[in-house]
Each structure stands twice: as C-alpha cells, then as structure tokens.
Structure 1
Amino acid sequence: MFPTLFLLMAILDGPAAIGNDVDSTSKQGQEGEVEEIIISGRRRTPGFVLSRSSLNLEDLPESQVGSARNVGDLMDQVPGVHLQRTSYGQVSPFLRGLTGFRTLALIDGIRLNNSTFRSGPNQYISLIDPWMLESAEIILGPGSVLHGSDAAGGLIHMTSRIPRPGEGLGESSSFLQRLSSAEKSSISRYEYSAVTDDHAIGFGFSYRDYGDFTAGGDEGEQPETGYQEWSGNFSWVQDLGDDFSFEIVAQSHRQEDVPRTHSTIFGSTWEGLTTGSDLQRDLDGERDLLYLRWQKKHGPESASRLTVSRQQIADEEDRVRSSGVRRLQGVTTEALGVSWDWFGYSDLGPLSSGVEWTHEGIDSFFRQYDSLGNLDSVRPRGPVADDSTYDWVGAYAQQVLEVSDDWTLNLGVRGTWAQVDAEKVDPDPSDTEIFDPVKEDWSSVVGSIRAIHDVDKDMRIYGGLSQAFRAPNLSDLTRFDAASSGDAEIPASDLDPEKFLTAEIGAIFETGSSEFESVIWVSSLDQLIVRFPTGDVNSDGDTIVTKANSGEGLAHGWDFRFRSELENDVLLTGAASWVTGDLETPVSPGVIEEAPLSRLAPTLVRLSLEKRFSDRFSLSGVVTAADRQDRLSPRDLSDTQRIPVGGTPGYVVLDLHATYLWQQDSEIFASLTNLTDEAYRIHGSGTNEPGANLILGFDLRF
C-alpha cells in the first residue's frame, strides 16, 4: 500500500501528467502571460468551446431549476436535446439524433456508460440525483477524441457539489422540500458540510415518492406509474500542502419498482395507442460510485489529476406476462477505472493529454416461474452474457494553436483499444440453435480539427471536422431480451465498430447585452449497428430481431439560441432546434430500405421571459412548442404502444416559475406547469406528460 502511495505522489509531482477534466477560462494574453489553471470536471482546452455547449445549470433562471424533479427535467430546457421518457421514472436524452450508447454521460469526469447499455433509449441517467449537482453541461457533437467510445452524438457532463477547503469556513446545513400536485410527488433532501482551511467534509440524502400521476386533458390519472427512489452522497477533501490535494467521494442511488407502463395492460390509449399485454413490468435500478482523486498544481501553468474509481450499476426486471408467467432477470456491472490527466502549455499553446483504463465485470441472471409461482426454468445467463468482461484503454492529446490574433486552431487525436470476453452467451445450450462464446478486440484512432475566427469584437465564427467511433459492446454482441415493443433480440457476434464524421459551422454575435448563436451541422453515419427482423417469432409471439453493421446514412440539423438582458431587470431567452436524417435500414433478411432515423426529435421552439422585481423576488414564463413528428422509421411505425399511428402530435405548453428569497441563502419557489392542461407526450415516450401542475417548495439553509 505505501509503495503505491509513493508512486502516485511521484507521478502527480512530475512535470508531465495527463489531463482529465481540467479547465481554464483563460488563454495566453498578447504579452505572453498565463492565468492560473483551475482543475474542474471537464476535459477541454481553455477559452471558447469549439463544439457548441448549450447549457450550464447556472445559466438557467433559478426558478426553473427548482421545478425540476430529475436530471431529465433540467436537460429538457436545452435547445438541441430531445428527452424521451420510456416511463415516468426513466428518461433518455437524444443528442443530434442519437441516444443510448451513442451518447456519453459523465459524473465528475467518470463514465456513467458501460458495456451493457442498449442502442435505444436507456434509463440510467435517472440514477443521478439532480439536487446533488453543482453544475451540468451538454456539449453537442462528437466527443470521442477527449472521451472515447460512446460520445458520437454528444456529451452530458454532470459535476457533483463537493465542499472545498477554505471555501465557506464552518458548518452549514440545508433542507429542501418539493411538492407537486399532478405528479402526486414529494421530494426531500438534506445536506451538511463542515469546512476548515485544510479539509472539507460533506454529505447529503434525498428521498422521492411519486404517486400515479395525472396527465393533461381527458387522460386523467395514469395507473401503475408511481415509484420511489432515494440517494446519498459523501465527500472528503484534504489539502495536503504544496498545491496537492486528495479527495474521496461516494455516491449511491436506488430506484424501486419503476413501472414500464406502456407494455402493460395499464398503458395509455391516447390518440389510438395500443396497450401492452403484460400484467406487470417493474424495474429496480441501483448505482454505487466510489472514487479517490489526487490533484496537483505545478504552478500557474499546469495541473494534473489521478483518479481511481469503482462504479457498480445494477438493474432488475420483474415482469408478469399475460399468461401469468413471471420472469425475473437482471444485470450487474462493476467498472474499475484509472485515469491520469494533465493540462498545461506547450511551446505551441494550451495542451491537454491523458491515458485511461477501465475493466468491467458483468454478471446476469434469468429465472422464470409458472402462473402458480413455481420455479419453471433458470437460464445460464440473463439479458446479456453472464460472467463476462469488457476492457478498454485509451490515450488522447489536444493542442490549441494561436495561429494569429484572430485565428485559433484546435487539433485532437485519440487512440483506443477495446476487448470483450463473453463466455456464457447461449441462453439454452440444450437446443439446436448455438450461440458461441465471444472474444474479440478492436482498435481505433480518431482525430478532430476545429477553428475559431474572431471577425471583430462582436462576432465570432467557428467550425470543424470531428471523427467518432463506437466499439461493439456486450449488449450489441450478446443481448437476449426484449427490444422495442413486440421485438425479441438475439445475440450477434460478428460486428465491427461504428464510424462517424461530423462537420459543423456556427457563429456567435454579441451586441450590447444580447448574444445570438446559430450552428448547422451534418454527420455521416457509417456501419451503424442496427436491428432487423429475422423472419421468425418466438414462443411469446414476439418478432425475433438480430443485428448487423448495415446502417449507412446522414443526419443533419440546425440549432439557434439567444439571450438578451432588457431594461428593468428583464431577461429574454429563446432557442430553436431542427434535426433530420435518413439511414439505410434492413427491414427483412436481404431487404434494405432508406428510412428516417428512429425517434427523430420534432422541430422545437422555446421562449423564456424572466423579470426580477427585486433582489428577493423573480418571476418567469416559459413557452415550449413542438411540431408534429410524422417522419417515422420502420421501428417507429411498429411501436404503437409509444407512437400513435401517423406520428406524435405537436403541442404548445406554458409554464410559470417564481422564487422568493425570504432570508439569506434560503428561498421559496413555486411553479405552475402545463398551465393549459395540454394532453401531450414527448415523441417516442411511453407515457404522456403531467397535466396542469402546481409545484411548491423551499430551500432552507442554516
């Protein structure tokens, strides 16, 4: 143990380490001065982000943040982000037309994604408590150079609130309570911190209870939609002196009995939707994260960080079919990771670099009981191959070049190696259909080049080309489970990495107290792993689907946002987004058709007007309008449990938010959401949204 600690200290004290999430808001000045580098939660070079960053939590009006019940509600405020809800407790973000394992989520710089994530909407980002976050950031466009596989559509980076030595000395506590009428929900959170000059300790606990919510219009109460969840977090940061610090952080989250309502007999029939046949389909979710982090500042010009982490994500499904047969299945993934990062300056300008290694161990199970409750069968594996491992190693470097006073280039490169070893792939070794063990590895090198041009003091244009890739994961190769509504997926072992190439160009214009930004982008999608029907059905009557690298196509879109500080303490913000795309998709064995990407987001426009009446009281109104989405893929057309025949209707929703600071650092907040009681659902979701809803809450600090 002691030799290991000495080795870690020697590495961090060296002149060149490797930069995980280090950041600075400065560039080299005209006279060569370098401002202090601050280690934060992002892997990026200083100055302007060349791939558009849409949202930081601190950018939202405080009144809107208080109304959010989960991370998804926060992301729903972002232009270019389409939030799909598989169920009321399971949200999945679409970034530039991609979701699931083609978008990457990070918590404190550590990957939430693992090798069992599916291609479609995933619920795992719901295992992050939004009320423990200090900030959240969404970066649209490929992030594979800095973050590796899975960051093809974009990156969601969440940073937890961690007390730091010397910041706000003494002890403090806070209690937050949120109540909602249409959600029939209660959310409570308590936090405590103790800070001195050389150490800081913090912990928090949240509990959420959701009843069966009430949807808008004539839909009324939605049965079998309620659930419970709780989370806790702990942090200890120690200043070791000589600009050297150590921290230990633990997080835990539990979801209990989250219904996937659309596939059950309790599903909605809104706009002609069909209900499922399951009598019950509930999911439990768990996430436990522990990481140790050593950080070292080598003077004002460089900093480094070493992180050792363990994260375990588990989910279990309890499903009762129409016949009364009960199926219990689940997956547990343990990910061990080490990353070493450095940020500083080379002779050419700002430089960041890093290396990382992750090892995942996966266990899964499946048990079936007959309608009388007797154990009927046990498979040697669950949804993915049991007793499997997935490893990947990556290294990256990113250099910023100050070409001239008004031109900047950003060059990046990453190399990655990934390997899967899956033994128990065959769900039934006794039958005639054989699924062999899988042991494969892949390697890839991707790069990016981006440029910024300061046209004048008010206008900046930017653009570039970025490659991305995604290695096949355990879900691609070995999944034996339900896919979309009415589909059953079988293993497919002969798969290659997916490849992406994205071009984008945008401009930012500032005048006085207003800022406008517009960006257009296009992505080439090559060798996408897509599902297609084999022509067979299983004993439950579900269509059997497999996978191949058959997807070729293009996705493109446009995003716009503005922010204007008007007179009399009025803030006006707005955003619009449009995305489309087509993919050559197998629809049956040997038959390929060009069709829209699955679950394409509709055209979306959002306007927000906030008025500060004093330092204590603010009021804001938000209008969100979405167009009808009738560009449907073959998969969408068949998913009549979630998407109405002919497409998902458009909607216009009005929300009002207010906050009142009733004493120092304590506030009361209230919201009226869906003021007109609109009956609507976000395209591709398994449930409608709540109807007219009153939210009341307070955040008390003492």
Structure 2
Amino acid sequence: MNKKLLVMVFFLFSMVYGQQVQVLDADTGEPISNVAIFNDARSKAAISDIDGIADLAIFTTKERITFKHLSYQTRKSSRGQILKQGNRIYMVMKAEQLDEVVMSVSKWEQQKKDIPNKIDVTGARQIEFVNPQTSADLLANTGKVFVQKSQLGGGSPMIRGFATNRLLLSVDGVRMNNAIFRGGNLQNVISIDPFAIHNTEVIFGPGSVIYGSDAIGGVMNFYTKKAEFSSSDSLLVSGHANYRFSSANTENTAHFDFNLGKRKWAFLTSATFNNFGDLTMGKHGPQSYLRTRYVVTGQGEDVLAENDRPRKQVPTGYDQINLMQKISYRPNNTWKYDLGLHYSETSDYSRYDRLIRPNGDNTGLRSAEWYYGPQKWLLGNLQMRKRGKGIFYDGLKISTAYQHFEESRNDRDFGDPVRFTTMEKVDALSANIDFENKKIGDLRLYYGGEYIYNRVSSTGSQFDRVTGGKSGAAARYPDGSTWQTTAGYLNAEYKANPNFTVLAGMRYSHVWIDATFDKTYYPFPFDDADLNNGALTTSVGFSWFPKADFQVTLNGSTGFRAPNIDDVGKIFDSEPGAVVVPNPDLEPEYAYNAELGLYRNFNDKVMLRAATYYTYLVDALVRREFQFNGQTQIDYKGEPSQVLAIQNAAKAFVYGLELGVEAFLSNNFSISSNLTFTEGVEEEEDGSDSPGRHVAPTFGDFHLVWKNQSLKADLFMNYNGSVPYKDLATSERSKDYIYAIDHEGNPYSPSWYTLNFRSQYSISQNLKVSFGLENITNERYRPYSSGIAAAGTNIVMGVGYNF
C-alpha cells in the first residue's frame, strides 16, 4: 500500500512539476521573466513569470518549442529534452542591447539609447569574467579608462585629459570625493571591493548638472550588490565564495557573501581579504626600471643593499580587508528602505615612486622610508525610495550618508633619524532628495537637492628613531577646517518622437570653505581662508535615430570645480627642493564641453561607435611659482625649497577621438576593439603653453572572444603609445627617475603592448573556474606617469562557487 501511494505521489509530482520549466540566464543563473514560449505553428504560447517559471502543459512531449526574449539569443528545445535537463533551460544574453537601462545621468532609470552622453557600462557577468585584482584594474580593463599607479596600492583613473579631483567617484549614488581630494594622483578607488560590485557606469565628459563640483572630466559610478528578497513565503538562502591567485605579486584573495531573503526583509553580508606581495616586473624593457638597490635599516643605520632580484620591486606588497552589509526592508509595493554599510582598510603600503628617487648627486637614494599608513574608509548609507504618484512626483528617493576617511603619510630621508608623519581624517555628511516626474505628456522631469558637509582633521608629528623622542610638526592641512555645499538641479527628458530625444538640465551649487591657519611652524601672512562661491552649470543634448540602425548624439555641457581644502590650505613637499604653500585667494574653475557621437549597427553583426569631443577649461587651478611673505624660497624640513601654490593661473583645452567596434562572426566567436586619442595643452597667463599633465597617451585594446554555454575565452592585446619628451608636462620632466631616457638624454614614456589570455569554465551551474595569463611576452613597461613598473608574465587563477 505504501509503495502504491509513493508511486502515485511521484506520478502526480511529475505531472505537475514536470510540465513546468524555469528559464535562467546562462551566465548568472538568475531567472528571466517575460520569455515568450511558443511552438512552430505559433498556435500554443506561454510566458515566464517573475521567477522565470512557465507551464508547458499545453505542449506535447516531442513538440518543438521556441524560447524568445528581446535581450537573449533564441533557444529551441522540446518538453522531453527539458525534462531530462532538470526542467531548466538556459539562455545566453545578446551581445548588443540598445534598450539597456542606466541610472547615472539622472539618478533614475533611463534607456541608454535616449542619452546623448557617452556612458560605458560594465555588468556583473563581465566583472566576474575579468576577475580584476582591484577596482582600479576593473576600470582599466574596460579599455576606455587610462589608469596611473604610483605604487601597487593605487590606481588613479584618467578620463579625457582629466584626473584626480577633476573626476568624480560615487558608490551607490553617494559622492566619494571629499575636501582633501588632491590634484596629485589618488588611490581612493582601491577602497571599493570589486567582488561587491554589481555594475559600473562611467560618464565621459562633464557631469556637474547632476553631481556638482569635481565632475569635469567624467563620473565613475559603482553600484554594489543588493540584498535579494524571496518571491515566496520560504526563506531565500544564496551566496558566493571566491578565491583568486596571481603569480606576479603572489596575491591571495578570498571572498564570500551570503544573502538571506524573505518577502519583506533581506540581508546581504560580504567580506573580502587580500594579501599582495612585492610585484615582479617584466623581463624585456628599459634597464632603468630595474630595482637594483633598496634601503635596509638596522641598528640605527641606513644601508644601501643590492637587490639580487632586480625585477622584484621592493617594497610594494600590502594587505586589505573589505566588508559590506546590506539590509533592505520592503513593507509594500510603494516603499523600500535600504541600509548599506561599507568598510575598507589597508595595511601600511609604500609609495614606491618616492623610494626610487635618487639623492642629489645620484650616488644613492633620497628616502629611507616613504609609506602611507592604513587607508581607511567607512560609509553608512540609508536610502528611502517611494514609487507611485504624488502631487509633484512619480518617484521619490531620499538618501543620507556618513563617511569617514583616514590616511597618513610617513617619510624619512636616507641617513636622517627623524621620520615626519602627517595624519588626515575627514568626516563627511550628505543628504540628497531626488524626484522623478513624468506627468507632462512626453516630457519627463528629474529634479532634486543636495547638501554635503566635510570636516577635516589634520595633525603633524616627527619621531626620532635614535632617541625615541616624539614632537609636533606642521600639519598638512588647517586642522578643523570645513567644506560644505548645497545645490538644486532640474533635468528634463523630452521625447519629441520615438526616434528623437532631447535631454537638458541645469544646476546651481554654492560652496563654502572655512579654514584657520596655525602659525606655530610657518608665519602665514593670513589668518584664515573664508571662501564663498556659487556656480551655475547647464547641459543640453539630443539622441537621434535617423534609421533604426544608426544613432547620432550631440551634447553640450558645462562643468565646474570649486576649490577645496587641499587647494586652499595644503603645505607639503611636491618634489625635492620645492614646497607647496596655502593660497586662500582662489575661485572655481569652469569647463565648457561639446561632444558628438555616432553609432551604427550592421544587422546585429557589426557595431561601430565613435565619439569626438572638445573641452575648454578656464581659471584652471594649477600649481605655479608663488611668493610666501615676499620670498620665493623658504626652508622646509631643513632644505631650501622653491615656493609653489595652487592658483587660478591657466587655461586648458583638451580634445580627442574615441573609437570602438564589436563584430559577431558567429554565435560563438566575436571580436572587439577600443582606441582612444587625446591631446591637451595648458595655456599660461603670459601666453606660453605646455602639455597637459593628465593627458593620457594613445591607448587601446583588441579582443578575440570565443564563448559557448560552458566556456568563455578571450585572447587580447593592450596597447599604449609613447609620450616623447616634448609632449611631457613640465612637472613630469623633473621626474626622470620614473621614465626611460631617450637618445638625447631626456626622459620619455615609451610605447608598449601586452598579449594576454583569460578564460572561464563552468564545471556546473554552481561551480566556475578561471585561468588567465597576462603579459605573455614578459614585457617590462611603466604606464605613462606611473611610478611602479607593471607586472611581468602573470598567471591568474580563480575559482567561484554559487549556492
């Protein structure tokens, strides 16, 4: 009796559930909703629900069934075959999606095809395949963003001739730029965990209408993974575990995240641990890049030691930990609350480019120690979102955030017992309110307001390693200084017809700085800096499809950057024999930009993209010669030093061309390539000019990609053009120790290319392994303006498990 009952239950279970299929994404395993399912005669049809599930009861066992979705390649199968495959069918996403949705331009979802700005999107499946070491490497792997590195623990993006505090970073919509983001190279992007990123959106060109100050050259938005709700009453449990190894710096990285979801509550916990060893450079290249000597300190004495492995860049290794916690609450279909907590901390890490500086007579090294203390970043972000019609909106988002930044600099000259330390901390508060309104016919409005407050804590000290004595020293910034801004913006999208969309916007921002200078160590000729500046920025552009497969975009915009505490109040050594001093008499710099874009799709087989732009920067904040109390030289750390300061002393223009191609030669084989040309010049007040410091050399990539449902492989080349001496910025020419030397004895940046391979194989739907071989020909090279040579031949292996 029990056996008969068991057979009947099994039969009924097979009848009910054997007629259902779940449609899943072949790369991510996520369910696909709204998949059309029909037979050859189109006389029977079904559609998948939000969980990707559809009922196939109307189809016979051997009947041919088609699965079709706008974003995926069409699949065909039969009910019998699907049953053998566990009632699951996997679909592969199409390579090109014109209906892709982005959020960066208005902070609300918009069709990418309607936006006149150039935006590069890197999604979760591509991030997983690229498997980057840091978020800086993730940007570099797009082939559209140039990344400079002064040390292994770094990565400073350059976009369209601008970098550092002229680019804006944001995480989940929260501005990461703070009051001490400097004009020199920045490392803050490495605080963002690449394993926690769901997708990135990079806006090329000014984004000040939405993001305010600093968004002159572009905006880099990182959107992290979200906590997932359950679609049923049962508890949803899922997660990922990953391990990554790279041979060039004996990297060991471990990551895990897990998600618990109910219908109304969801929790996501993520953690990543990195251990990076000293980086080994390539074998074939300039001899001057080799690390032949380094400083060893013992028993109170600095000694130059010979490096028996001169390709090993000693010291460059460091450790890092990243933690993230997401909590989401959805009481109904109208409201949603999201709490995000992020924490990142590195160990001490050396600034390698300072450790290879020669001393004055080139007989030794200038520094015995030069390292950053732990770089810490904490972000707490509470977002409330309302969907549904209000009096003045159809969507509402309120976001409040607190961030804490901490960093320090520690340096000691060779043979000098005194180590100088400066410690900086920034507490940042922000509040945003954003509205979406689409009530007025074909006009869609986005508007909102923002308030940001930064407080800077800065201290200085000196430590005598012989006597053990510790005393005070000049701080890097005015301690207790504040930077704050408030703004309001309005953005409008007007769809004149299905093929023509106009996007226009304006924003007014006001910025205040309050800083009091400590005259204990330097007799400043002023007591404080009290800046009060406003800026109006605008943008207007259109996206036009004269034919379904041809798109033209045109965009004009303005951007601005208000002086921050780093511009107004910094005192530090920029290079041997030069010191930067405060300058409280600064005004914002403004950028005017025009951009033309073209896109052509040839039968979904070949896609061509091109964009050209011109940006003009006025009242540019640049470092130039200055006088301090009427003197052009002052004593700094016991050395006579030329006085420099940030000033509104130049104009600049940058122009360029960006090209891209994708070609799909078959269902499995494709090629893609990107190429970027940039030119830029800074014009001085006296009429002279010089090359722009952050104008990257010509760079590009070329990929050959093969893919089926289990394996994806990519053979690719990265390329960088040369920067001859005549095109080096004046500030770069003095750093001859990081450059190669040409036949005339002048520093320059040589061209280089690397041949690389990466692959990912799905052993099962849950288990994936990856293998990569970078710089196969073992080239020795330094990307432009970088202080550290890149990795030589590098084996990269990874394994990931989803549950």
* Partner of residue 699 from structure 2, selected from 604, 624, 641: 604
Paired residue total: 656
Q: What letter matches 1:281 in structure 2?
A: W
Distance 1:263 1:596, change over 3 A: same
Of 624, 629, 639 in structure 1, the residue corresponding to residue 723 of structure 2 is: 629
Q: CA deviation at 1:317?
A: 1.6
Give distance in 1, aligned partners of 2:643 and 2:510. 32
Cα distance in 1, alignment partners of residues 695 and 775 from structure 2: 23
Alpha-carbon deviation of 1:382?
Answer: 2.1
- In the alignment, the residues of structure 2 paired with residue 216 and residue 167 of structure 1 have an alpha-carbon distance, to the nearest angstrom, of 51
Give 1:186's aligned residue.
252
Deviations 1:333-375 (A, max 9, x none): 0111111111131415121111011111110110012352544
Change (3 A) 1:167 1:366: farther
Specify the SS of the correspondent of 2:706: strand
Which is further off, 512-521 or 159-168? 159-168
**8 Å contact kept, 2:170–2:221:** yes
Matched residues in 2 for 1:275 and 1:345: separation? 67
Q: TM-score by structure 2 length? A: 0.78
Q: How does 1:298-697 map to 2 (within 5 A)?
A: 298=388, 302-322=394-414, 323-347=416-440, 348-375=442-469, 377-379=471-473, 382-423=475-516, 425-426=517-518, 428-429=519-520, 431-483=522-574, 487-513=578-604, 514-534=606-626, 535-536=632-633, 538=636, 539-585=638-684, 593-612=688-707, 614-630=708-724, 631-644=727-740, 645-697=746-798
Tell me if the contact between 2:127 and 2:138 (Cα under 8 Å) persists in the aligned partners. Answer: no
CA distance in 1, matches of 2:475, 2:333: 50
SS of the residue 1:606 aligns to = strand
> Partner amino acid for 2:385?
Q
Residue 127 of structure 1 and its aligned partner are, at CA, apart by: 1.0
In structure 1, what is the equivalent of residue 10 of structure 2?
A: none
* SS in structure 1 of the partner of residue 228 of structure 2: coil
Q: Does 1:296 align with 2:386?
A: yes
How far did residue 563 of structure 1 move?
A: 1.5
In the superposition, the TM-score normalised over structure 1's length comes to 0.89
Structure 2 counterpart of 1:12: none
* Identity in percent: 21
- Residue among 181, 195, 212 paired with 1:148: 212
- What amino acid maps onto 1:608 in structure 2? H
Please give the alpha-carbon distance, in whole angstroms, between the structure 2 residues aligned to 1:658 and 1:327. Answer: 46
Indicate the structure whose relative CO is greater, using CA pairs within 8 Å and at least 6 residues apart: 1
Map of 1:83 onto structure 2: 147
1:279 corresponding residue in structure 2: 368
Q: Read off the aligned partner of 1:646 and give its amino acid letter.
A: P
Distance verdict in 2 for CA 1:568–1:162, change over 3 Å: closer
Q: Work out the CA distance in 2 between the residues paired with 1:364 and 1:69.
A: 31
Distance 1:274 1:701 in 2: 55
Task: Label 1:321 to 1:449 Cα distance change in 2 as closer, same or farther (>3 A).
Answer: same
Partner-residue secondary structure (3-state), 1:641:
helix
Q: CA deviation at 1:620?
A: 0.8
User: In the superposition, relative to structure 1, how do residues 37 and 261 fare at CA in structure 2: closer, same or farther (>3 Å)?
Assistant: closer
| 1:38 CA displacement | 10
Worse overlay, 298-307 or 46-55 = 298-307
Distance change >3 Å, CA 40–CA 495, structure 1 → 2: closer
Query: SS where residue 220 of structure 2 aligns?
Result: strand
CA distance 1:37–1:52, shift in 2 (3 Å): closer
- Cα distance change, pair 451–69 in 1 and its aligned pair in 2 (3 A): same
For 1:119, what is the secondary structure of its paired residue? coil
2:331 paired with 1:240: yes
C-alpha change, 1:198 and 1:405, in structure 2 (3 Å) is: closer
Q: Structure 1 residue 453: deviation in Å?
A: 1.7
Amino acid at match of 2:142: V
User: Matched residues in 1 for 2:110 and 2:192: separation?
Assistant: 27
- Structure 1 counterpart SS, 2:737: coil
SS in 2 for 1:87: coil
Cα shift at 1:134: 0.5
Structure-2 change in CA distance of 1:378 and 1:37 (3 Å) = same
Segment of structure 1 superposing worse, 256-265 or 683-692 = 256-265
Equivalent position amino acid for 1:337 in 2 = S
**Could you say if the C-alpha distance between residues 124 and 527 of structure 1 is closer, same or farther in structure 2, counting changes exceeding 3 Å?**
same
Whether contact under 8 Å (1:435, 1:491) holds in the other structure is no
CA contact (8 A) 1:46 1:350 kept: no
Distance 1:55 1:336, change over 3 A: same
Q: Give the deviation of 1:482 after TM superposition.
A: 2.8
Which residue in 1 is equivalent to 2:190? 126
Aligned-pair CA distance for 1:224:
0.5
Deviations 1:598-650 (A, max 9, x none): 142111121011101x3111211110111111211111111223334431110
Q: CA deviation at 1:436?
A: 2.0
Aligned in 2, Cα 1:212/1:340: closer, same or farther, shift over 3 Å?
A: same
The residue type paired with residue 166 of structure 2 is: R
Aligned Cα root-mean-square deviation (Å): 2.5
Distance in structure 2 (CA, Å) of the matches to 1:633 and 1:686: 15
Q: Which runs of 5+ in 1 are unaligned?
A: 1-24, 27-34
Shift of 1:592: 6.0
For residues 538-588 of structure 1, give each alpha carbon's deviation from its aligned partner in whole angstroms, at most 9, with x where no partner exists: 3335443112101112110000111222214112111000101111247xx
Would the alpha carbon gap of residues 193 and 406 (structure 1) be closer, same or farther in structure 2, given more than 3 Å must change? closer
| 1:500 shift after superposition | 0.4
Whole-angstrom distance in 1 between the partners of 2:536 and 2:397: 24
Aligned match of 1:13: none
- C-alpha change, 1:79 and 1:40, in structure 2 (3 Å) is closer
CA gap of 1:61–1:439, structure 2 versus 1, over 3 A, is closer
Structure 2 CA distance for aligned equivalents of residues 143 and 529 of structure 1? 19
> Per-residue deviation at 1:39?
7.9
TM-superposed deviation, 1:488: 2.1
The equivalences for 1:257-276 within 5 A come to 257-265=348-356
2:344 to 234, 250, 253: 253
Report the more deviating stretch, 77-86 or 442-451.
77-86
With over 3 angstroms needed to count, the CA separation of the structure-2 counterparts of 1:576 and 1:267, relative to structure 1, is farther
Take 2:506 and 2:339, find their aligned partners in 1: how far apart are those partners? 31
Give, as a single letter, the amino acid of the residue that structure 1 aligns with 2:137.
D
Q: Is the 8 A contact 1:263 1:275 kept in 2?
A: no
Q: Which amino acid is the alignment partner of residue 589 of structure 2?
A: E
Residues 49-77 of structure 1, C-alpha deviation per residue, up to 9 Å, x if partnerless? 311012323474753x22x1001111112
Q: Secondary structure at the match of 1:529?
A: strand
Which one has the largest radius of gyration?
2
Mapped partners of 2:556, 2:575: distance in 1: 33
Change (3 A) 1:122 1:274: farther
**CA–CA distance in structure 1, aligned partners of residues 245 and 377 of structure 2:** 25
**1:41, 1:253 → 2: CA distance?**
27
